[in-house]
Amino acid sequence: MNVLLLQLRYLDSREDEQIRGITMKSSAISLHHRNGDQEFLLNLIDSPGHVDFSSEVSTAVRLCDGALVLVDAVEGVCPQTQVVLRQAWLENIRPVLVINKMDRLIMELKLTSMEAHDHLKKILEQVNAVTGSLFTSKVLEERAEKDKEEEEEEEETMAGEQVYDWSAGLDQVDDSHLYFSPEQGNVVFASAVDGWGFRTQQFADLYSQKMGVRAAVLQKTLWGDFYLNAKAKRIMKGAQVNPRNVPSAPQPGTEPLPLVSITHFLNLHGGKAELLKTVSDTGEFQKEGTEGASSVKRILCSLQAKGKKPLFVQLVLDNIWSLYDAVVVQRDKDRVEKVVSSLGVTLMPRDLRHSDPKVLLSAICSQWLPVSKAVLSMVCEKLPSPLDISEERVEKLMSVGARRFDSLPEETQELKTAFLQCSSAENAPVIIFVSKMFAVDPQALPQHKQRPLNQEEMARRRELARQRHAERMAAAETHQSTPEDRDAEPDSAKTEPEEEQKEVFVAFARVYSGKVKKGQKVFVLGPKYDPAQGLQLLSEGSSDSEVPHLFRCSLQTLYLLMGRELEELEEVPAGNVLGIGGLEDFVLKSATLSVSPACPPFTPISMEATPIVRVAIEAKHPSEMPKLVRGMRLLNQADPCAQILIQETGEHVLVTAGEVHLQRCLDDLRERFAKVEISVSKPIIPFRETVVRPPKVDMVNEELGKQQKVAVIRQVKEESPQGRLSDGVHVDPGGLVTITTPNRLVTVSVRAMALPHEVTCLLESSSDVIRTLEQVSMSLREGRTLDVSARTLEAIAGLKAQLESLLQGRRWRDVVDQIWAFGPRRSGPNILLNSLKDYQRPSLWHSLDRASRSSQAAPALRDFDNSIVSGFQLATLSGPMCEEPMMGVCFSVEKWDVQTSAPLKEDAAASPDVSGGGAAGHVQAATDCYGPVSGQLIAVMKEACRQAFQAQPQRLMAAMYTCEIVATADVLGRVYGVLGKREGRVLQEEMKEGTDVFIIKAVLPVAESFGFADEIRKRTSGLASPQLVFSHWEVISSDPFWVPTTEEEYLHFGEKADSDNAALKYMNAVRRRKGLYVEEKLVEHGEKQRTLGKNK
């Protein structure tokens, strides 16, 4: 039965999952398990392992109390293993380990049991190293918070000498329960394909009776450096020789190793007198390279190999290796019969006669060491039940964004008790979290399935069929229906099912508190719902519909999730995973449901996969475009990671995490959601635009003078269509751009500078903190009070401190306090600086001042402050090179002059101060022929930023994948060939110890990644498999506007300089796709006469 299930892949119900052999979506199943005298109901969620579907893992982790982490026994810890462990850590769920594919160590790698033991130890060390790094970062973070609180208390209470504690606090925290160790019972060694798996506890119980040793003692010593002393009948420590105890040859210039220590070492480890002949009479090692020295090394290596067998090898692995040798390798029937009789296994005659030895092996192992029993028993004993949810996890779920738990209303804080109790009582508040919505074929719903009929229903249907047959016969005799009617009937019958065929969405959810009943009324809490505001409005007599982001709905149907099968339920108690029907009009991707409006929305699910691959989609037949739009809306709801965008040009764009994810989404559109033929564009490659510091050498590495550098830059800009200067724009040799509004009333001067790479990376990784900073600053400008947690303020202060440490030097002096805004979208990796001497606006870091946060007064800003920021945001959102967002650029506003003319004075007097940064501030300017002054200033600021950008050396930034390739030594050269062809760069290459498998780590441009996996598999005949994960943005070194300007460059590159320029190729491709002007010469000399020759 186990073999049949493994072949069927029960939880991989999609056709493409069966074809590819990978899991693409999370699916749940409820399992009943008896462990001893207790019975358990386990909700198992199978999540994908492919990097493109990490979002499905995120949706599953939120609903679980524990996690089964699977690690390949051959490949060990992969990047995806680290991602899964980090997701489990962030969600505060406890993991257990399953080391799968143990059969590969025997059949593929041909390892001995001793070598396999060493290999497994290394895998455990790798997994525990990941867990240890996560634990260390948490402890250090908590210690830093505690130290800061103590410092603040000391500053307030006393002054004087301070005693600093330099310890990290790691030695004061017990972390033994966090790591994976077989003696703790949280590790299973398994081979799912052969149906066996075990924990050391099973063998401890088995051998405790035979050896007369307590099972608890065997459990602790079965894994580790312990061996069985047969003579003394005792378990002793020191099975293997510790390399630290092995004497090594002395270094040159040191004292020779005495003969006594070598003799003592050899005697300790069973050495004989003749082994000492290789040592000189004086007791010294002979010189390097002589026969004696190599002999000593061989002796010591042989002694290392002659160490005692650990208990795990002797009692566990040797038995499994012997079973494989007898059944699969030797196929010795006599030995098989002895093994079967000793194990007490009952086999069917057909299993013994089967030609495939794997069938016989599975039949033996599934009875001797069933993998299901080992895994489910570990889950029941080591993973927490829903009743054991921690307070830390509850507070983390209930604290959204910058809000801290103690700032929530009292009614909301009281719900914490309901979470911790996880009660199914009638008076317990119902709290449900929906992690995703998934589409179901209507015919697969329980209410549409055929059920067995009783005798009365069968008789009734028989009578109805008899009546319909009689009516048809009567109609045929009287010719009442014309041929046209008969032709029309099938058409109408065909159209009705098509109209009825509509995808049904079921919510993938978990009950955290209360008992959910069919038809129950609950509130749907949107992600922006504020329980304090909702409770206040409801207490004032407002209806549910008047509360923002609060909706009331009915739970129409409840389902038990059994893979692709659904079973209808009447009620579901707390702690269970379930499916809910009828929420497709209320929930887009995820949501929180509760009967209490005091419940806050849960924190959003953190997605590890970054959607990066874009394609434009349209219907082949324009009349079917409405069906495609509806299908894309359904796909957006069904896939937690896919994004659907409508660009300004009207194109419908699908954004996915990778090539495999893209293919799955397109298949779903064609076959399931839209059911129309679609046209898909080539992948839309994302780029970023940036500037770099002026070069010091030319393309042939000749040093450039200062005047020549400026001349080169200006010449390039004048020749490019993007760099042509309009009226009213002045660019000085230093790159300062001055531009005036069309009505000649406002003049702005802007300079662009390249940010250091470290600052750009910091801003990109701190986008959430910057977004929170902007929200706090906006609330202060509007006079509102926003409760901000101490951790959020510390994160903002930490960001400021990091920026101050990174922005050092003369040009960046005191620049952090001058930051005006971040962009684009107010949280991007670009900076706007206020370098105006006569305009001292409130700092962006104003929220860190406690006095200013407690004050309700909004700080005064200069008129049109918001226009400057808006122009900066527009400029950084689409750069001049190919209308892609900017990255790593700092714009400094160094001049802002306003002519005090009569119209502008009236405008300034009539308009209030702008509470900059949002749509709340409005400037009503006197309208002239050029429009409002605020609008002119936005356009001028945008143009000034673009011109300042073009006054510096421009570069494109390409999105990069981190590529990890597992390949054998035979195909290593072909792998490097494919990487080189696609502009890849190898970072690291290492060989798996004891195998011929190499792990290659490289970076690959996203633009060159499409078809990469298929090509590398074809070139290597399937012996290499890559995994691509989005990593970072990287500057393309080549200048897209470069032309030869020096004599050396003309001699080296020629007058045309038409060598391959990757940046120019990418830039022109993007401009051509967007319909922008592309400077390319189709015909160089149009008047030249062509001579066409014909072959006669």
DSSP string, 672-704: IIS-S-EEEPSPB--EEEEE-PPPSB-TTSPBP
What integer pLDDT is reported at residue 251 of this predicted model? 41
Residue 116 to residues 127, 317, 495, 716, 844: CA-CA distances in angstroms? 17, 8, 63, 63, 59
pLDDT digits (tens, 9 = 90+) for 276-326: 333 333 334 343 344 444 444 454 444 444 557 888 898 899 999 999 999
Q: Is the dihedral of CA 462, 463, 465, 470 positive or negative?
A: positive
Residue 359 to residues 195, 354, 607: CA-CA distances in angstroms? 10, 7, 41
Q: Is 561 exposed, middle or buried (0-12, 13-18, 19+ CB in 10 A)?
A: buried
Q: What angle do CA 345, 378, 89 make, to 5 degrees?
A: 150
Q: In degrees rounded to 5, what are phi and psi of residue 833? A: -105, 145
- Which candidate, 465, 416, 431, places its Cα nearest to that of 574? 431
- Which candidate, 1023, 1028, 1033, places its Cα nearest to that of 1009? 1028
Q: What angle do CA 797, 798, 800 make, to 5 degrees?
A: 65
What integer pLDDT is reported at residue 629 of this predicted model? 92
- Which candidate, 367, 99, 381, 129, places its Cα nearest to that of 223? 99
Class of domain 956-1074: alpha beta
- Which candidate, 533, 574, 286, 202, places its Cα nearest to that of 422? 574
Residues whose CB falls within 8 Å of the CB of residue 1009, separated by 6 or more in sequence, listed in order: 659, 961, 982, 1028
Q: Three-state DSSP class for 1089?
A: coil
What integer pLDDT is reported at residue 892 of this predicted model? 93
The domain covering 613-684 belongs, at the CATH homologous superfamily level, to: Elongation Factor G (Translational Gtpase), domain 3 (3.30.70.870)
- CB 717 within 8 Å of CB 950: yes
d(CA 969, CA 971): 6
Tell me the one-letter amino acid at 495. T
DSSP β-ladder status, 557-562 and 187-191:
unpaired
What integer pLDDT is reported at residue 842 of this predicted model? 72
d(CA 266, CA 41): 57
Span 2-146+177-212+378-387 CATH architecture: 3-Layer(aba) Sandwich (3.40)
Write down the domain spans for the chain. Answer: 2-146+177-212+378-387, 241-302, 613-684, 727-953, 956-1074
Question: What are the beta bridge partners of residue 581?
Answer: 506, 557
- CB 175 within 8 Å of CB 135: yes
Residue 502 to residues 15, 440, 670, 689: CA-CA distances in angstroms? 20, 10, 15, 44
Tell me the one-letter amino acid at 359. V
- Which candidate, 264, 257, 305, places its Cα nearest to that of 284? 257
Q: Three-state DSSP class for 806?
A: helix
What integer pLDDT is reported at residue 495 of this predicted model? 41
d(CA 974, CA 70): 30
Cis peptide before 527 (omega within 30 of 0): no
Tell me the one-letter amino acid at 990. E
R_g (Cα) of the chain, nearest Å: 36
Q: At what angle do helices 357-368 and 333-343 cross, to 10 degrees?
A: 20
Residue 275 to residues 287, 297, 851: CA-CA distances in angstroms? 18, 11, 81
Structure tokens at 904: 């502008």
What integer pLDDT is reported at residue 216 of this predicted model? 84
d(CA 905, CA 978): 66
d(CA 643, CA 634): 11
d(CA 753, CA 888): 9
What integer pLDDT is reported at residue 1060 of this predicted model? 73
What integer pLDDT is reported at residue 946 of this predicted model? 94
Write b or e for each residue in 668-704: b if 16 or more Cβ atoms lie within 10 A of its Cβ, otherwise e: bbbeebbebebeeeebbbbbbbbbeeeeeebbeeeeb
What integer pLDDT is reported at residue 902 of this predicted model? 45
Domain pair 2-146+177-212+378-387 / 727-953, same fold: no
Within 13 Å of residue 1053, how many CA atoms lie on the same side as its CB?
19
Within 13 Å of residue 1030, how many CA atoms lie on the same side as its CB?
21
Q: Please give the average pLDDT of every successive group of 10 residues along the chain, which has 1096 residues.
A: 48 76 85 87 88 85 91 86 86 91 90 90 90 79 64 55 51 70 92 91 85 83 81 72 45 40 39 38 39 46 58 90 90 86 83 83 89 92 89 84 74 88 88 91 77 78 88 76 47 42 84 91 88 86 84 91 88 92 89 90 80 89 91 91 85 89 91 91 90 73 51 42 60 88 88 92 90 82 68 84 87 87 90 85 70 44 80 93 93 85 43 36 52 87 93 92 88 91 90 80 91 88 84 89 70 63 88 85 64 58
Residues whose CB falls within 8 Å of the CB of residue 137, separated by 6 or more in sequence, listed in order: none
d(CA 685, CA 719): 27
- CB 782 within 8 Å of CB 838: no
Q: In degrees rounded to 5, what are phi and psi of residue 345? A: -95, 140
Structure tokens at 1: 């039965």
What integer pLDDT is reported at residue 257 of this predicted model? 39
Span 727-953 CATH architecture: 2-Layer Sandwich (3.30)
d(CA 691, CA 697): 17
What integer pLDDT is reported at residue 245 of this predicted model? 45
Residue with tokens 């093994």: 339
DSSP β-ladder status, 830-834 and 889-898:
parallel
Alpha helix (H) residue ranges in 856-950 = 865-877, 902-910, 933-950
d(CA 61, CA 602): 14
Q: Three-state DSSP class for 504?
A: strand
Structure tokens at 467: 């009546």
d(CA 546, CA 56): 34
